[in-house]
Amino acid sequence: MNTKIQDILPLIEMPSRYLGTEINSVRKDHDKILLRFALAFPDLYEIGTSHFGIQILYHILNTHCNIAAERVYAPAADMEEQLRLSGIPISSLESGTSLKNFDIIGFSLLYELNYTNILTILDLAGIPFYASQRDESFPFIIAGGPCTCNPEPVADFFDAVVVGDGEKVIMEMAEAWMEWKKEHKGNKEILLKKWAGIEGVYIPCFFKPEFDESGIQTLVPYFPEYTKITRTIIPDLNLSPFPDSPVIPFGRPIHDRLRIELARGCTRGCRFCQAGMIYRPVRERSQENLVKLVESAIKSTGYEDISLLSLSTGDYSCIASIMKQLIDRCIKDNIAISLPSLRAGTLTPELMELIKKIRKTGFTIAPEAASQRLRNVINKNIVEQDIIDTVQDAFKAGWQVIKLYFMIGLPTETHEDIQSIVELVKNLKKIKPFKGKAQINVSAGTFIPKPHTPFQWLPQISLEQSKEKIYWLKNELNIPGVKFKWQNPEVSLLEGIWSRGNRKLSNLLVSAYKKGCRFDGWSDQFRYDLWQETFEQAQIDIKSCILKPLDMEKPLPWDHIDMGLTKKFLKNEWEKAVQEKITQDCRNKDCNNCGVCDFDTIKPMICKEAFKENCSENNKPAPETKTPKNDNFITIEVLYSKQGPAKYFGHLEMVSIFFRAIRRAGIALKYSQGFHPMPRISFNDPLSIGIESLNESFYMAVPDDLNIKIKNIKDQINKQLPKGLAIHKCQLAPPKSARHKFESNTYQITIKSGIFDEKALHGFEQSQECFLTKTNKKGQIKKINIKETILKLELLSSQQVEIIINNAPGKRIKPVEALKTIFNLSDQIIKQASIIKL
């Protein structure tokens, strides 16, 4: 990371987002590799680091000795502002290399309302938006992810788009680039033709868009042999690379746990669900593979929580078996297992008994529709009794919070269907939990017709209709013990426009970006007024974009993208929806002839129950991490320093870093008792973000085992710590009564610009009172006389002071607050100061 970035980090919130020093991140010498590949995620760090796909690609690319894959995320508004003010280009996390100096930049397109963030990243890198404006001196810009099933709204920005599973394709594209670089440096079209020959790769510039009088887009291919792009599919997940040493994010990522993908694809056939259509067929990992992956990933990460991922976790064929094995393996090391959601009707008695052993937050059920008629229309394949039984079972298993998700505006919906949501919630409210009070959280979102689904031709309800339905539900669900929340209808409207749009939208996106649209999926950032203004200036009617049905006999913008599903299948499913007919799950029933499987290489891969518990040596817990009895522990005092980039860690962040480092080092800890045991680690007073320290400490209880030598603990943990954190001593802790408590703290502060005025210091010394005004989280104003708090203030030079601050309760202040008040320094000067706690 270069010095210029270090200079602006103190000026922003959550600077640890931009450090790039995470455990398991990969750093390579750019002089020793051929291809520099940037993986770009157009959302905040805490969202992007929670995305499993980017971890997979990062792992695959970095296994190649000639490729360096690095990461970049959309900067928050404060960081974007500082980059622009300072003229610093956006750079990768691992090496601080400007994005413009990479060879390929690959964007993950997960959500249509992230599109403006793509432009933010390109703009901050100094890279032209449109592929047609970029010559060979710029990086190749590519994209992948679920939104590429209709890439047309953003196709003009990309040189290439990956459709389908990226694991195999990404390496083929990388190898083609390296070959091109050696043989045809400077001729961009040669590489694009190479890429076009790879299954699943779409080259937008090889197609010419034409529009009829009504605005319908038709793509005319320039090459007769390249007219369709067939989705690429990984047939067997067991043979696919898996990131068993994923990067461990700093901060509070959305999913701060080890994520294990049980399966990919779904066969339920919900007619509204794009993911259920475009990820077919279902491919389950074997239990043997999952156990090995879990064991390896636990050792490499130190995570204390595992989440089992799938479009429908409860549908995994061996869910009870794998849950039992993982619980038996993990419970000994106080590792929790979590299930993100389960379908109604999948909570078997056997599974419920297992779930009673795991940690619980909320239990999510997505009925989508509350009336049986509408559930038949969308092919939900559950009845109301399934929902009631599942909630009852969840309460019996120990959950107290139930989350329900519904959609409004579904095809054929009537007001009676909306009323059914209220009736169902009231019926569920009557069910009593095993203990405590039940809480039902109801969430509603507007239905959005998506490409490659049976509903792709249908209109979306208007903004007015969406608001009317949501506000009606809000009033009717104003019930004690029920919380109702909803997705912003204006956000849903825009998502609908972009999900089924064509290339005419690319210019509109640029216009919206230039007006200031950023992070459109975030409620506190979304500016619908700017979008309205953009549409008006482009003379495009927002309502007409979503309210008009699409002609089933005319071309669709995504017709050239072959996801494997036939139009005949999708049309038949729409006809069955109108007739309220169900299509059975093809996992265990007859094939529904959707068109995806060839039953040779592409076919359902279902886990078998043959795997026996503990059949693998990898399933045995490591003996050194087995928790001893509670009376065989000693308490150790750990002394450490926090310097350099580590000064940007918040206290809770740092506690998590140390805890996981201890787990990776194989050092067992004492835990509290109860259902949610916590490690016995206690830290001294937390440091504010931005302060370095040479001598901090914490206490931890470890086994009193002759095989554990205290002096070795330091080295074991230091190997697992990120840059800037270092343990320099471990020793037996004195009794609690004899532990030293600092009555004051001493800080040395150096400013890079401005001066500490001697006259201001003299004035402070001569005054009887000097008040600092603070506002707490509740908005209450408090005045503190810092004359009573500052025990000593010495000027070491015109730009350096030493200050001693009283630690007495109610009198504690931050050193920067005191110096800003005494010397009347600006926010920027004081934020960029170097502060060391001595």
Share of the chain above pLDDT 70, in %: 95
CB 409 within 8 A of CB 486: no
Answer whether residue 613 shows pLDDT above 60: no
- State yes or no: cis peptide before 628, omega within 30 of 0: no
- Name the residue among 12, 14, 15 with its Cα closest to residue 82: 12
CA distance 111 to 114: 6
**End-to-end Cα, the chain, rounded Å:** 26
- What's residue 621's pLDDT? 41
Beta bridge partners of 634: 702
CB 104 within 8 A of CB 61: no
Q: Which of 180-189, 484-493, 803-812, 813-822 has the highest mean pLDDT?
A: 484-493
Per-residue confidence band for 230, with pLDDT thresholds at 50, 70 and 90? very high
- Looking at residue 605, what DSSP letter applies? B
Per-residue confidence band for 710, with pLDDT thresholds at 50, 70 and 90? confident
Decide which of 212 and 619 is more confident: 212
Over residues 474-503, mean pLDDT: 96
Residues 171-191 have pLDDT tens digits of: 999 999 999 999 876 789 999
- What's residue 543's pLDDT? 84
Mean pLDDT of the chain: 91
Residue with tokens 């050696």: 182
User: Which stretches does DSSP call E strand in 514-628?
Assistant: 561-562
- What's residue 697's pLDDT? 93
- Looking at residue 444, what DSSP letter applies? E
CA distance 750 to 208: 60
Least confident of 67-71, 185-189, 414-418, 730-734: 185-189
In which region does residue 638 sit, left (phi positive, over 0), alpha (psi from -120 to 50) or beta (all else)? beta
Token pair, residue 159, equals: 């040189």
Residues 310-358 have pLDDT tens digits of: 988 888 999 989 999 998 888 888 888 887 767 777 777 788 778 777 7
- The secondary structure element, H or E, covering residue 323 is helix 319-330
Per-residue confidence band for 627, with pLDDT thresholds at 50, 70 and 90? very low
Answer whether residue 631 shows pLDDT above 70: no
Least confident of 254-263, 522-531, 688-697, 702-711: 702-711
Least confident of 161-170, 200-209, 269-278, 361-370: 361-370
Cα-flanking dihedrals φ and ψ of residue 37, to 5°?
A: -120, 120
Per-residue confidence band for 157, with pLDDT thresholds at 50, 70 and 90? very high
- Name the residue among 536, 537, 460 with its Cα closest to residue 491: 460
- What's residue 618's pLDDT? 41
- What's residue 610's pLDDT? 56
CA distance 44 to 249: 12
- Name the residue among 464, 459, 457 with its Cα closest to residue 447: 459
Helix/strand/coil for 420: helix
DSSP string, 642-685: E-GGGGG--HHHHHHHHHHHHHHTT----B-SSSS--B-EEE-S
Cα-flanking dihedrals φ and ψ of residue 515, to 5°?
A: -80, -15
Helices then strands, each counted (H, E), the chain: 25, 29
- Name the residue among 161, 218, 221 with its Cα closest to residue 192: 161
Rounded to 10 degrees, the C-alpha dihedral 26/31/35/37 comes to: 40
How long a stretch of residues is the chain?
Answer: 838
Least confident of 18-32, 152-166, 276-290, 424-438: 424-438
Answer whether residue 705 shows pLDDT above 90: no
Share of the chain above pLDDT 90, in %: 73
* Domains defined for the chain, CATH in brackets: 3-230 (3.40.50.280), 237-500+550-578 (3.80.30.20), 622-738 (3.30.70.580), 744-837 (3.30.70)
- What's residue 658's pLDDT? 96
CA distance 829 to 29: 35
- What's residue 626's pLDDT? 45
Residue with tokens 């916590």: 678
Beta bridge partners of 364: 403
Amino acid at 704: D
Token pair, residue 741, equals: 């408590």
Over residues 785-794, mean pLDDT: 91
